[in-house]
Structure 1
Amino acid sequence: MSEVRIPPDSPPSDAPAGSPKPFFQDTGTKRTLHFTEKEIQSSMSLLNPDALDLEYTRMMMGFVLFNPEPRRILMVGLGGGSLPKFCHRYLPRTEVEVIEIDPEVIALRDAFMVPPDGARFRVILADAAEYLGAADDHADVIFLDGFGVGGIPDALCSEDFYADCFRALRDDGILVINFHVNHPDHHEYMDRVRASFGPSMFEVVDDDMTNSIVFACKGDLLDDPAATALTRPAAISKDAWRQLMPTLRVIGATLVLR
């Protein structure tokens, strides 16, 4: 039996016109975020709210093989806050900055147990394309996981936007992108990323051939042979490493074949 909940007092929306109202649904011990009934935007275990419930989110954490203790992570798209919560808990020396365009998504942060804003965590209501267009040497890791109904908004997958991401990264910074493998423009998106990052990128696809996670580096950090050793860095707790290790093995195998 599932229960659908819509926040009764959401603030007026500044999201793009026509955007559906987000809602969450509880089914057993799972809480999921939706824009439509058919598509799950985020999933959380009510028994372990800080765990990464979806495989693609664990894949996106693969950046720890190259930089296990970034100073700042910038995330595009709050959703249900899975990745922000995990990074906030398990990367205690890292500042986490989340850009979200829809205030009604932000209004659900308490339902998904997203931490309050503080010294090293904050959610910013902003257009990510504009925000990154004005950023320079800003973050060590950038996550792109901003989806709406029908896929990635055009402003977040243009060649100019990926060039802005490149400029916003610090030296040896890593861009981590969640794509849908079966999207008709997937290969075009990859070419747009490559236009800024050149060959310093690789792709990992999940088991059900749904999500493609792309890692692109501003520098040659992806060529570090230590990444394939899969040795737990001192900065990563045993609990976090245990959760990530099965997925990191897949990423390590992809690196060996790169």
Structure 2
Amino acid sequence: MSHRNPSPSPPDACAPSEASVLPLRPFVQESGTTRALHFSEKVIQSRMSTLNPDALDLEYTRMMMGFVLFTPAPADILMVGLGGGSLAKFCYRYLARSRIEVVEIDPDVIALRDAFLVPRDDDRFRVVQADAADHLRGVQDVADVLLLDGFGDAGIPGALCSAEFYADCYEALRDDGILVINFHLNHPDHREYLDRVRASFGSSMFEVVDDDMTNSIVFACKGELLDDPAAAELKRPESIPKDAWRQLMPTLRVIGATRELK
């Protein structure tokens, strides 16, 4: 099973094991000015506007970028799940001082990177084909931001929603590092997943839910950075270009308000 971006509303599942589900090969569909990555006709894994390929076309991706309220200029960003590369492209373009590593298990997804205009590997960007659970095991202090968006057609692979994996995520973060996870709110074990995150990160976490009550974006911090009152000011940091800030601002207002209520 592969680790990549879900649609705004697929049925979420934390799969019992990768071996129990037959892998589905990704394919690309175009409709008007949008290009989408699919594993089945009914589920969109990722979507891109061909008129603005670096824009974040799906709301949940803009929600995940809420980490810039707390860490606007991370030195190192680690992502789990490439999909159509929406988050990777946005960070590569607008967080120009950040190094970005994307871990993707499925070579067929990586093979479609050109179709979604994902940048070539260079000195500050690379895509690694690996199982993220293996890749993060034993790793310490390598990232300021860790984005988990690892979905397949059947949901989140079991290895990527285990207590052990979230403990590894904690260790992989530097002091005041931020973990951002995309969940689906309608999964019956959603609260259990939050408890697993809380077991490693304690009370330094909060959840933001989209307007459709579908996606749940969880922010958890290795430290107390989420309590920084400066995050509520919603003032554009110098490290964030105006174009990026305009795209994110409506969503950042929601995140800021939710954080104040936590």
| Alignment TM-score, normalising by the size of structure 2 | 0.92
Per-residue displacement from partner, 1:100-145 (whole Å, max 9, x unpaired)?
0000000000000000000000000001000010311110000000
Which of 33, 36, 48 is residue 37 of structure 2 equivalent to? 33
Per-residue displacement from partner, 1:41-82 (whole Å, max 9, x unpaired)?
100000000000000000000000001000000000000000
- After TM superposition, list the pairs within 5 Å mapping 1:1-258 onto structure 2: 18-258=22-262
- Residue 11 of structure 1 corresponds to which residue in structure 2? none
Larger RCO (alpha carbons 8 Å, 6+ apart): 2
Whole-Å separation in 1 of the counterparts to 2:225 and 2:122: 30
Range moving further from structure 2, 15-24 or 222-231: 15-24
Per-residue displacement from partner, 1:221-246 (whole Å, max 9, x unpaired)?
00000001000001000000000000
Whole-Å separation in 1 of the counterparts to 2:140 and 2:131: 16
Whole-Å separation in 2 of the counterparts to 1:167 and 1:136: 5
Per-residue displacement from partner, 1:82-114 (whole Å, max 9, x unpaired)?
000000000000001000000000000000000
**Matched AA of 1:222:** L
**Matched AA of 2:130:** A
Question: Aligned residues: percent identity?
Answer: 74
Whole-Å separation in 2 of the counterparts to 1:209 and 1:40: 17
| Number of equivalences | 244
Q: Which runs of 5+ in 1 are unaligned?
A: 1-14
Partner SS state of residue 59, structure 1 = helix
Whole-Å separation in 2 of the counterparts to 1:207 and 1:24: 27
Per-residue displacement from partner, 1:16-48 (whole Å, max 9, x unpaired)?
672100001000000011111111110000000
**Matched AA of 1:21:** R
Whole-Å separation in 2 of the counterparts to 1:96 and 1:134: 20
Partner SS state of residue 86, structure 1 = helix
Deviation at 1:150, TM superposition (A): 1.7
**Matched AA of 2:45:** Q
4+ long deviations beyond 3 Å: none
Q: Which runs of 5+ in 2 are unaligned?
A: 1-17
